[in-house]
Structure 1
Amino acid sequence: MKLELVEHVDEQDRVVGQVSRRDAVQGRLLYRMAMVLVRDKQGRILVHRRPDSSPRFPGQYSWLVAGAVAVGESYEAAASRELAEELGLRGTVRPLFKFLCEGEMSPYWFSVFETVVDGEPIVAEPAEVAWHGWLTDDELEKAMQEWPFVSDSRDAYARYRALGTSASQPRAT
């Protein structure tokens, strides 16, 4: 596994140093994560299940494509990179919200973006995505109650819903 460097940040999201992601997690040091909500023109949300062999949250579901923000990288650039790496998609990402997440594995700043796709083929990275499918807002709400979702994904979903955002009303990108 390659060394993944991230910026250690403070409670105001200011850079205080550089550290490996492994050390950030083990030391519970704040760092940055970028997440992307992928929707289609019909307003459905892309949901995926992580592989059973994944070292992080094996077999659990998420409604966000996620990854750490690398040293010197912006949240937006990291979101675009994760979209391409995990799903083979290129698209404009638009910021939705950011919050300080306590995190199951480690605390981090969690910045959520969205993109709307229009029929582009999804080429999922097998090491990150074992299954994916499109769910309506109501189907996702039900799945959140029944499926094992990554805890941080659940936290972000509650915040997303509290904003009054509806998956059935996709925004233009």
Structure 2
Amino acid sequence: MGELVEHVDEHDHVLGIVERDEAVRENRPHRIATTICRDRAGRILVVRRAETLSRFPGHYDVMVGGAVDVGESYEEAAARELSEELGVRVPVRFLFKFLCRRGISPVWFGVHEAVVTEPLVPDPGEIAWRGWLSVAEVCGVVDQWLFVPGGREALRRYLRSGSGG
């Protein structure tokens, strides 16, 4: 059996439990917890996804994250994913959520922010490259580089919200 996720409606209310691959295949909205990482200087972490990933291989993103497990909160999932993908345990702060229809299927993104002060230990099965970019640098490459569509939309919402200072 594959990874189980909660199938949710247009208002992020749980309708049932399905395998994630089925949710994607049948365009059933489900939840993804993500985090935009900043360093002490305010730079944003940009990652390039590993080429071996089934979803958006080799694409750049400003979000680190993954599916919210059944019964898990967005915040719990965001903290877990940071640990799994970047090898860091830092507090995450929930910012906003939105229904994203760009990409492989509709998903509710729960977007968080974290200030990372410890060294990153990225999982090479998830992250092929990473770099800290200023807000201006990220804005300069987001439409030039091959970005995950949801990450591009989340970045714009993040900057408009005033969080991206």
Is the shorter-chain TM-score for this pair beyond 0.5, marking a shared fold?
A: yes
Q: 2:120 aligns to what? A: 122
Q: 1:89 aligns to what? A: 88
Q: Distance in 1 between matches of 2:5 and 2:76?
A: 14
* 2:157 equivalent to 1:159: yes
Aligned alpha-carbon RMSD (Å): 1.1
| Deviation at residue 55 of structure 1 after TM alignment | 1.4
Residues 99-124 of structure 1 show CA distances to partners (whole Å, capped at 9, x for unaligned) of 11113111011110011022x11110
Residues 120-144 of structure 1 show CA distances to partners (whole Å, capped at 9, x for unaligned) of 1111001110000100111111111
Q: Distance in 2 between matches of 1:166 and 1:54?
A: 28
| Deviation at residue 165 of structure 1 after TM alignment | 2.8
Q: Which moved more, 1:155-164 or 1:61-70?
A: 155-164
1:33-52, aligned counterparts within 5 Å? 33-52=32-51
| Deviation at residue 52 of structure 1 after TM alignment | 1.9
SS of the residue aligned with 1:161?
A: helix
Q: Distance in 2 between matches of 1:5 and 1:145?
A: 33
Q: Which moved more, 1:48-57 or 1:158-167?
A: 158-167
Residues 61-106 of structure 1 show CA distances to partners (whole Å, capped at 9, x for unaligned) of 0011020101010000000010000000101100111111113111
Poorly superposed stretches of 4+, deviation over 2 Å: 164-167
Q: Percent identity?
A: 52
Q: What is the identity, as a one-letter code, of the residue corresponding to 2:127?
A: V
TM score, norm. by length of structure 2: 0.96
**Any stretches of 5+ residues in structure 1 without a counterpart?**
168-173
| Deviation at residue 155 of structure 1 after TM alignment | 1.1
Q: Distance in 1 between matches of 2:123 and 2:90?
A: 17
Q: What is the identity, as a one-letter code, of the residue corresponding to 1:151?
A: P
**Any stretches of 5+ residues in structure 2 without a counterpart?**
none
SS of the residue aligned with 2:122?
A: coil
| Deviation at residue 159 of structure 1 after TM alignment | 1.3
* 2:70 equivalent to 1:71: yes
SS of the residue aligned with 1:124?
A: coil
Q: Distance in 2 between matches of 1:60 and 1:117?
A: 22
Residues 3-59 of structure 1 show CA distances to partners (whole Å, capped at 9, x for unaligned) of 100001111111111000000000100110100011111101111001122211111
Q: 1:53 aligns to what? A: 52
TM score, norm. by length of structure 1: 0.92
